[in-house]
Amino acid sequence: MIGVLVDYLMGPLGRALESAYLTHSLPIGLLLLVWMGVVCWGLRGVIRLRQQLRRWVQELLPAYDPAQPETPQQLLQALEPRWQEAAARVRFMPTHHGLWIRRATPEALRAEVGFTTEGLARLLARLAPRSAAPRQPHPPVRRLRPASATNRARR
Protein backbone atom coordinates (compact mmCIF):
# COMPACT_ATOMS: atom_id res chain seq x y z
CA MET A 1 0.00 0.00 0.00
CA ILE A 2 2.76 2.46 0.93
CA GLY A 3 4.76 1.46 -2.16
CA VAL A 4 1.81 2.39 -4.37
CA LEU A 5 1.48 5.77 -2.64
CA VAL A 6 5.20 6.55 -3.00
CA ASP A 7 5.10 5.41 -6.63
CA TYR A 8 2.15 7.72 -7.25
CA LEU A 9 3.88 10.69 -5.56
CA MET A 10 7.12 10.24 -7.54
CA GLY A 11 5.37 10.38 -10.86
CA PRO A 12 6.80 9.12 -14.16
CA LEU A 13 10.00 11.20 -13.96
CA GLY A 14 10.73 10.05 -10.41
CA ARG A 15 10.20 6.41 -11.38
CA ALA A 16 12.53 6.81 -14.36
CA LEU A 17 15.24 8.41 -12.15
CA GLU A 18 14.88 5.71 -9.51
CA SER A 19 15.15 3.00 -12.14
CA ALA A 20 18.23 4.64 -13.69
CA TYR A 21 19.88 4.96 -10.27
CA LEU A 22 19.16 1.35 -9.33
CA THR A 23 20.45 0.15 -12.69
CA HIS A 24 23.65 2.25 -12.59
CA SER A 25 24.28 2.72 -8.86
CA LEU A 26 28.00 1.85 -8.98
CA PRO A 27 29.05 4.50 -11.56
CA ILE A 28 26.82 7.10 -9.91
CA GLY A 29 28.29 6.26 -6.50
CA LEU A 30 31.84 6.52 -7.85
CA LEU A 31 31.10 9.90 -9.42
CA LEU A 32 29.73 11.17 -6.11
CA LEU A 33 32.78 9.83 -4.30
CA VAL A 34 35.14 11.60 -6.71
CA TRP A 35 33.13 14.82 -6.37
CA MET A 36 33.32 14.66 -2.56
CA GLY A 37 37.05 14.03 -2.76
CA VAL A 38 37.61 17.08 -4.98
CA VAL A 39 35.56 19.33 -2.69
CA CYS A 40 37.40 18.06 0.40
CA TRP A 41 40.74 18.58 -1.33
CA GLY A 42 39.81 22.20 -2.07
CA LEU A 43 38.65 22.75 1.50
CA ARG A 44 41.84 21.32 2.96
CA GLY A 45 43.94 24.38 2.06
CA VAL A 46 41.42 26.79 3.59
CA ILE A 47 41.24 24.78 6.82
CA ARG A 48 45.02 24.68 7.12
CA LEU A 49 45.25 28.41 6.50
CA ARG A 50 42.69 29.09 9.25
CA GLN A 51 44.68 26.93 11.66
CA GLN A 52 47.88 28.73 10.71
CA LEU A 53 46.24 32.13 11.22
CA ARG A 54 45.07 31.08 14.67
CA ARG A 55 48.62 29.94 15.58
CA TRP A 56 50.09 33.24 14.34
CA VAL A 57 47.62 35.30 16.38
CA GLN A 58 48.26 33.22 19.50
CA GLU A 59 51.98 33.70 18.97
CA LEU A 60 51.71 37.50 18.64
CA LEU A 61 48.90 38.08 21.13
CA PRO A 62 51.14 38.63 24.21
CA ALA A 63 52.73 41.63 22.47
CA TYR A 64 49.35 43.35 21.92
CA ASP A 65 46.46 44.38 24.14
CA PRO A 66 43.29 42.61 22.94
CA ALA A 67 41.11 45.22 24.66
CA GLN A 68 42.36 48.01 22.37
CA PRO A 69 40.13 48.60 19.33
CA GLU A 70 43.14 49.06 16.98
CA THR A 71 44.68 45.68 17.87
CA PRO A 72 43.10 43.76 14.92
CA GLN A 73 44.46 46.36 12.48
CA GLN A 74 47.93 46.15 14.06
CA LEU A 75 47.86 42.35 13.88
CA LEU A 76 46.75 42.55 10.26
CA GLN A 77 49.75 44.71 9.38
CA ALA A 78 52.16 42.54 11.37
CA LEU A 79 50.94 39.30 9.77
CA GLU A 80 50.67 40.57 6.17
CA PRO A 81 54.06 39.21 4.95
CA ARG A 82 53.36 35.79 6.47
CA TRP A 83 49.88 35.85 4.96
CA GLN A 84 51.12 36.58 1.45
CA GLU A 85 53.59 33.71 1.65
CA ALA A 86 51.09 31.21 3.06
CA ALA A 87 48.25 32.26 0.73
CA ALA A 88 50.50 31.80 -2.30
CA ARG A 89 50.90 28.12 -1.40
CA VAL A 90 47.13 27.43 -1.45
CA ARG A 91 46.15 26.52 -4.99
CA PHE A 92 42.41 25.75 -4.78
CA MET A 93 39.52 26.75 -2.56
CA PRO A 94 35.78 25.99 -2.48
CA THR A 95 33.38 28.12 -4.47
CA HIS A 96 30.94 30.42 -2.70
CA HIS A 97 28.42 27.64 -2.00
CA GLY A 98 31.05 24.94 -1.51
CA LEU A 99 29.82 22.65 -4.29
CA TRP A 100 32.99 22.82 -6.38
CA ILE A 101 36.49 24.30 -6.26
CA ARG A 102 38.11 27.28 -7.95
CA ARG A 103 41.57 28.78 -8.25
CA ALA A 104 42.58 30.43 -4.98
CA THR A 105 43.68 34.05 -4.92
CA PRO A 106 45.04 35.85 -1.84
CA GLU A 107 42.08 38.26 -1.83
CA ALA A 108 39.46 35.51 -2.09
CA LEU A 109 41.26 33.54 0.63
CA ARG A 110 41.40 36.66 2.80
CA ALA A 111 37.60 36.83 2.89
CA GLU A 112 37.13 33.06 3.25
CA VAL A 113 39.64 32.58 6.07
CA GLY A 114 38.81 35.78 7.94
CA PHE A 115 42.12 37.60 7.50
CA THR A 116 40.36 40.96 7.76
CA THR A 117 40.01 43.45 10.57
CA GLU A 118 36.56 42.08 11.45
CA GLY A 119 37.74 38.48 11.22
CA LEU A 120 40.72 39.12 13.49
CA ALA A 121 38.45 40.94 15.96
CA ARG A 122 36.20 37.84 16.11
CA LEU A 123 39.23 35.61 16.54
CA LEU A 124 40.58 37.83 19.33
CA ALA A 125 37.21 37.70 21.08
CA ARG A 126 37.36 33.89 21.05
CA LEU A 127 40.99 33.76 22.16
CA ALA A 128 40.72 36.41 24.87
CA PRO A 129 41.11 34.88 28.33
CA ARG A 130 37.88 34.53 30.21
CA SER A 131 37.44 36.65 33.30
CA ALA A 132 39.04 35.20 36.40
CA ALA A 133 36.01 36.01 38.54
CA PRO A 134 34.63 32.92 40.26
CA ARG A 135 31.42 31.58 38.84
CA GLN A 136 28.29 32.02 40.86
CA PRO A 137 26.90 28.64 41.88
CA HIS A 138 23.48 27.85 40.51
CA PRO A 139 20.68 27.55 43.04
CA PRO A 140 19.65 23.94 43.60
CA VAL A 141 17.08 22.74 41.14
CA ARG A 142 13.96 21.22 42.60
CA ARG A 143 12.98 18.18 40.62
CA LEU A 144 9.30 17.59 40.28
CA ARG A 145 8.12 14.05 40.30
CA PRO A 146 5.34 12.95 37.99
CA ALA A 147 1.88 12.82 39.51
CA SER A 148 1.80 9.01 39.36
CA ALA A 149 4.97 8.80 41.48
CA THR A 150 3.52 11.26 44.00
CA ASN A 151 0.33 9.22 44.31
CA ARG A 152 2.35 6.02 44.85
CA ALA A 153 4.35 7.67 47.62
CA ARG A 154 1.17 8.70 49.48
CA ARG A 155 -0.33 5.19 49.43
Domain-embedded: residue 4: no
* Three-state DSSP state, 155: coil
| Predicted pLDDT at 131 | 41
Q: How many helices (H) and strands (E) does the chain have?
A: 6, 2
Domain-embedded: residue 105: yes
Domain-embedded: residue 133: no
Cβ count within 10 A of residue 82: 13
Domain-embedded: residue 82: yes
Q: What is the largest CA-CA distance in the chain?
A: 78
| Predicted pLDDT at 135 | 58
Helix or strand run (H / E) with residue 94: strand 92-94
- Report the predicted TM-score, pTM, of the whole model to 2 decimal places: 0.69
Q: Which domain holds residue 28?
A: 10-128
Domain-embedded: residue 108: yes
| Predicted pLDDT at 132 | 41
| Predicted pLDDT at 152 | 61
d(CA 25, CA 28): 5
| Predicted pLDDT at 2 | 87
Domain-embedded: residue 54: yes
Q: Look at the chain and report how many structural domains it folds into.
A: 1
DSSP 97-115: TSSSEEE--HHHHHHHHT-
d(CA 111, CA 93): 12
Q: pLDDT tens for the chain, 155 residues: list them.
A: 788 888 888 899 989 998 999 999 999 999 999 999 999 999 999 999 999 999 999 999 888 888 888 999 999 999 999 999 999 999 999 998 889 999 999 999 999 999 999 999 999 989 876 544 455 666 777 767 666 655 665 66
| Predicted pLDDT at 149 | 58
